[in-house]
Amino acid sequence: MTEIIILVGLAFVFGSILIFLNTKLHSVDKEKEAILKQLPGYNCGACGFGSCAGMVEAILKEKESYLKCRPMRKDKQEELKQYLENKKM
């Protein structure tokens, strides 16, 4: 009986860890997607990060990286700035 309780306990703990990690990974993906949608999407590489997806990775490391996107209009820059400030990354 004790073994069953231990196994159920372990299953619960590992299940909880997997659910936590899955939730965490999906929230990062959603965050990346949300930022990517706010970029011009030209994939021109003018920012020096190779693509818009590269820019997203750069923004996650350093917020002000979005300033290197040359084709982005000023109003869109301001929107992204507000978004990033509200996210408190």
The verdict on 70 binding ligand SF4 (CB under 6 A) reads yes
Write out the two tokens for 64. 């002000």
- If one asks whether residue 15 binds ligand SF4 (CB under 6 A), the answer comes out as no
Show the binding pattern over residues 26-55: x = contacts ligand SF4 (CB under 6 A), - = does not: -------------xx-xxxxxx-x-xx--x
Which residue reads 């309780």 in tokens? 5
Q: How many CB atoms lie within 10 A of CB 14?
A: 10
Query: Which residues here bind ligand SF4, judged by CB under 6 A?
Result: 39-40, 42-47, 49, 51-52, 55, 69-72
